[in-house]
Amino acid sequence: AQSVAQPEDQVNVAEGNPLTVKCTYSVSGNPYLFWYVQYPNRGLQFLLKYITGDNLVKGSYGFEAEFNKSQTSFHLKKPSALVSDSALYFCAVRVMNSGGYQKVTFGIGTKLQVIP
Amino acid sequence: GAGVSQSPRYKVAKRGQDVALRCDPISGHVSLFWYQQALGQGPEFLTYFQNEAQLDKSGLPSDRFFAERPEGSVSTLKIQRTQQEDSAVYLCASSLPPTRGDEKLFFGSGTQLSVL
């Protein structure tokens, strides 16, 4: 069974500082990894994805994520945090089978608080 | 439409009442997912459709939950004899045909169900 772990309920960072939101996964087969962001009273929005290739992927709003196969991690990063980045961040893993069936599993989310 | 549309936005039900939640996906999106998000938790998978076929309903918590997508577009999630533990935000997401599995999900704003 596939699973995603986000070990931190909340991450606090000062504006202008680099931020990291952690994610580890467990899946058999090739994982497709995603980060989504949820602002208050809004639906989840796609940030970035890792499929294959370069382990560092870049996404929306200046975010990037680093895939580490040996550590089964996919941490979200940003060099300089903005107050407007404060939101709930979800890591997700997607698995496809040969029959086209797919399942997307989400972590419990990490609340990012950027302090002015 | 421009995005995934869900209705109603809020629903208050008395315990034992039946409810129906609607999802109108992005035109052309073959894949449709339903998720349940309890307060402070990540989205929990309920069910997955590919066109009109319900390929996975393993996440439906009980036989009181039923989902359909008869014409491969609009989907309805029905909950019979609602219980207080059904109170949550129900999210619908759609995506393009799963050619590689890396297609991002587009989420609606959700239906917040409160069972009294």
* Rounded Cα gap, residues B97 and B116, in angstroms: 39
Q: Does B4 touch chain A (CB under 8 A)?
A: yes
**pLDDT tens, position by position, A50-104:** 988 889 999 999 999 999 999 999 999 999 999 999 999 999 998 776 666 678 8
Query: Where does the pLDDT of residue B100 fall: very low under 50, low under 70, confident under 90, or very high at 90 and above?
Result: low
Query: Where does the pLDDT of residue B103 fall: very low under 50, low under 70, confident under 90, or very high at 90 and above?
Result: confident
- Provide the shortest C-alpha distance from residue A80 to chain B (in Å): 25
pLDDT at A99: 63
Considering only CB atoms, A103 lies closest to which of B56, B93, B107, namely B56
- A 15-44 residues with CB below 8 A of B? 32, 34, 36, 41-44
* Rounded Cα gap, residues B41 and A49, in angstroms: 21
Judged by CB atoms closer than 8 Å, whether chains meet at A96 and B100 is answered as yes
The residues pairing with B114 across neighbouring beta strands, listed in sequence order, are B12
Q: Does B50 touch chain A (CB under 8 A)?
A: yes
Which two tokens mark B64? 């009181």
Residues with Cβ within 8 Å of B36's Cβ and at least 6 positions away in sequence, in order, are B43, B44, B46, B59, B61, B88, B89, B90, B91
